[in-house]
Structure 1
Amino acid sequence: MHTLRFVTGNEGKVEEAREYLEGLATVEQVGYDYTEIQHDDLAAIARRGARESYDAIAAEDQEIDGVLVDDTGLFVDALDGFPGPYSAYVEGTVGVERVWELASAEENRRAHFRTVLAYADENGVEIFEGSVAGTLVEPRGEGGFGYDPIFAYNGQTLAEMTAAEKNAISHRGRALAAFADWYAERTEETADD
């Protein structure tokens, strides 16, 4: 079975990837600190991180099958997509509560989470995307992380959902499902050669 390295400090992301890739590949967490470029496009950020991570890890481990890197953003309609690709920075500097305060002043509180998953190996980088639409609400719930307490899907915030409920509708899950389909087809073709 193939082994994929997921470059992240978030064990929850790794567990979600393991669920989607069960039977296809073993997923190992790697804490490599790649250069995160500043860019308006999540795909450009993830692509660069995956390429750099693969090159660095492959230099140490010739048996590497591939590397996964993701980048996620919260895009608020009334704020012209802000914070978008700068979501982690905004969360760390301004805070989730302040983003809610900005959105609460708007009539339109629609938003969406978008994840871009980049897979890199010796053949290049492939991109997979997933998104989920919802509404921003006053913070509530004890679970999840990041913007989960202010992002509601069907009336429930992601922070109010169990991990299984959240994973069933998550933007990352949708990107992982697209990747899993592609990876299964690719490994099947490789096995036939």
Structure 2
Amino acid sequence: MTIRFVTSNEGKVREAREYLTDDVEQIDYDYTEIQSDDLAEIAVAGAKEAFEETGRDDPVLVDDAGLFVDALGGFPGPYSSYAEDTVGVERVWNLVEQEENRRAKFRCVVAYYDGDEARTFEGAVPGRIVAPRGDGGFGYDPIFEHEGATMAEMSTERKNAVSHRGRALAKFADWLAEN
């Protein structure tokens, strides 16, 4: 069975192929991202639309992820991409800089849709917000520290080994193997 991963990000596809034994095909389809505070709701809506609009019988996989900062009431959460584009990573750090509690987590929900039923799988990685460090990664990686290093300081292999998406994909892979 081929699983179609709906993303324009080849890095996400490489990560998915590390967890899934089935064939993973990249589908570059720009589904409508609904506005919701719920990552699962966003991912399921995207998966259903992508399945219907791409006109094939193979199931699809869509992920939605975000940075959830405790001191900011979970902001930017599902709005992480928008906040990154409009406010910027440095300003998110500035918002948290004076806070005593800088705990945060990256969360990801992977939605699988086969035309009949949608299933979701969540992964999270705990950390804290710090002053920007490191040259790697993308997005909030320079301000998100996990186990003493920012994601931007980690090698791709180390980052993928602890990533929120990887944790969600591992849960999906376990479910897929049983079903």
Q: Same fold (TM over 0.5)?
A: yes
Counterpart for residue 140 of structure 2: 147
Which of residues 38, 41, 47 in structure 2 aligns to 1:41?
Answer: 38
Alpha-carbon distance in structure 1 between the residues aligned to 2:131 and 2:69: 14
Q: Using the alignment, how far apart are the partners of 2:26 and 2:81 within structure 1?
A: 20
* SS at 1:6 equivalent: strand
In the alignment, structure 1 residue 182 sits paired with structure 2 residue 175: yes
Aligned residue number for residue 189 of structure 1:
none
For residues 103-122 of structure 1, what are the structure 2 equivalents within 5 Å? Answer: 103-122=96-115
Shift of 1:65: 2.1
Alignment of 1:1-193 (within 5 A): 2-21=1-20, 24-57=21-54, 59=55, 61=56, 64-186=57-179
Identity %: 66
**Distance across 2 between alignment mates of 1:38 and 1:179:** 24
Task: Work out the CA distance in 2 between the residues paired with 1:181 and 1:135.
Answer: 29
Give 1:84's aligned amino acid. Answer: G
Query: CA RMSD for the aligned pairs?
Result: 0.8
**Aligned-partner Cα distance in 1 for 2:27–2:99:** 40
How far, CA to CA, are the matches of 2:177 and 2:49 in structure 1? 24
Residue 123 of structure 1 and its aligned partner are, at CA, apart by 2.1
Q: Deviations over 1:152-183 (max 9, x none)?
A: 00110001101110111110000000000001
Shift of 1:134: 0.2
Matches of 2:86 and 2:172, distance apart in 1: 32
Q: Deviation at 1:124?
A: 1.5
> Unaligned regions of 5+ residues in structure 1, if any?
187-193
Distance of 2:7 and 2:98 partners within structure 1: 34
Counterpart-to-counterpart distance in 2, 1:154 and 1:124: 37
**Residues 72-110 of structure 1: CA distance to partner in whole angstroms, max 9, x if unpaired?**
010000110010110010001111011011010211110
Aligned length: 179
Q: Specify the code of the residue in structure 1 equivalent to 2:59.
A: G
Q: Secondary structure at 1:113's aligned position in 2?
A: strand
- Which amino acid counterpart does residue 167 of structure 1 have in structure 2? N
Q: Within 2, Cα distance between the matches of 1:183 and 1:48?
A: 21
Provide the rounded CA distance (Å) in 2 between the counterparts of 1:175 and 1:37. 21
